[in-house]
Chain A
Amino acid sequence: MRLSYPTNVKVVKVPCTGRVDVIMVLKAFESGVDGVYLAGCLEGECHFLKGNLRAKKRVMYLKKLLAEVGIEPERVEMYNVSSSDGPRFAQIAHEMTAKIRTLGPSPIKSASKSFKA
């Protein structure tokens, strides 16, 4: 397909989005990332039955946590994309990148030049 997606997207592989814990995403923000999105399987198609549904709930919780610390909750999102749907993967990478560009750099990174995670 030779699809391209923005080079700023760093892919972290996990066996299932159900493996993703809130602390992993918070640590990513501590290290200065501008946004995080989870690309899980389509709802109802989780190999582990509920992994992607659990991830969705954790993303909702993360949004609350981020709002609490003063980071825009939109910087974290949950997407569902079939593993065979390359074009959709590229599309959400563009979509999320565009959204984060509109929001600008993470307030953590921009406020603290001396901050080291």
Chain B
Amino acid sequence: MIVGNRKPLEEILEMIRPYRKILLLGCRECVTVCAVGGEREVAVLASELKLVRAKQDQEIEIKEFALERQCDHEYIDQIKPFAGDYEAIVSMACGAGVQYVAENFPKMMVLPAVNTTFLGVTLEQGVWSERCQGCGDCVLHLTAGVCPVARCAKSLFNGPCGGSSNGKCEVDKDTNCAWQLIIDRLKELGQLERYEEIIPPKDWSTARDGGPRVRIREDLRL
């Protein structure tokens, strides 16, 4: 899922400073699961904003609404009948959701309340961890199911580097060295000889370096 962090309240307050009527838009997909932009988080942010404005003796009207997804226009259409009644939309979705809502409302300010952070997994309730960067050319079959792009700070394809110590990365003592994980897992799988294969330099044009990516399936198009 896509994982994010709520922006600091001060930053959101600064964004909405000129507005008195806002539509606070949550998303029921990834950001609900990682507890950053679902219905509950919308309610909490709305309450915080109301409290601050009340303290400043400034009015604010907030409409709380959560869409099934903000990355599909069929759902965004649901707010079209009333979105115009508000001065701005504050979206609690990931960056994709914020942008797609903005594209659907060319004349409205659409503001982000969440910093989209990574593609990750739920390690335990309340703990999420990065696993994928969407590089467009998966190498997990070469690296024993541990991604060197997302989980090695240097995205090394032939590691570890000298910064690996006792299985931890020099960037942060709590971060596992991805290459240590790869080696451990290769050992576990009885395939340690694969570690000696040199992985050639990656073609990063399938990743962000190649510009924004589009995927088309002609058979599904209407």
Which of A's residues lie within 8 Å of B, judged by CB? 21-23, 26-27, 29-30, 65, 68-71, 107-108, 111-112, 114-115
Contacts and interface: CB of A to CB of B under 8 A. Distances in A.
A1 B206 CA distance: 76
B199 interface: no
Given A30-B51, A111-B55, A111-B57, 19 more contacts: A22-B44, A23-B40, A26-B47, A26-B51, A29-B47, A29-B51, A30-B47, A30-B54, A65-B44, A65-B48, A68-B8, A69-B48, A69-B52, A69-B55, A70-B52, A108-B51, A108-B54, A111-B56, A112-B55
Tell me the interface secondary structure of chain A in the complex.
helix
Contact of B47 (A23, A70, A107, A112): A23
B9 interface: yes
Interface string B50-70: 111011110000000000000
Nearest to A107: B55
Contacts of A22: 44
Highest count of chain B CB atoms <10 Å: which of A27, A71, A108: A108
A26 B55 contact: no
12 contacts: A26-B47, A26-B48, A27-B47, A29-B47, A30-B47, A65-B48, A69-B51, A108-B51, A111-B54, A112-B54, A114-B57, A115-B54
Interface of B: 8-9, 40, 43-44, 47-48, 50-52, 54-57
Nearest to B126: A57
Contacts of A111: 54-57
Nearest to A68: B9
Nearest to B51: A69
Nearest to B43: A23
Nearest to A65: B48
A18 to B, nearest CB: 14
B9 A69 contact: yes
A69 B12 CA distance: 12
Contacts of B55: 69-71, 107-108, 111-112
A9 to B, nearest CB: 22
A73 B17 CA distance: 24
Contacts of B8: 68
A87 to B, nearest CB: 35
Contact of B57 (A27, A71, A115): A115
A33 to B, nearest CB: 12
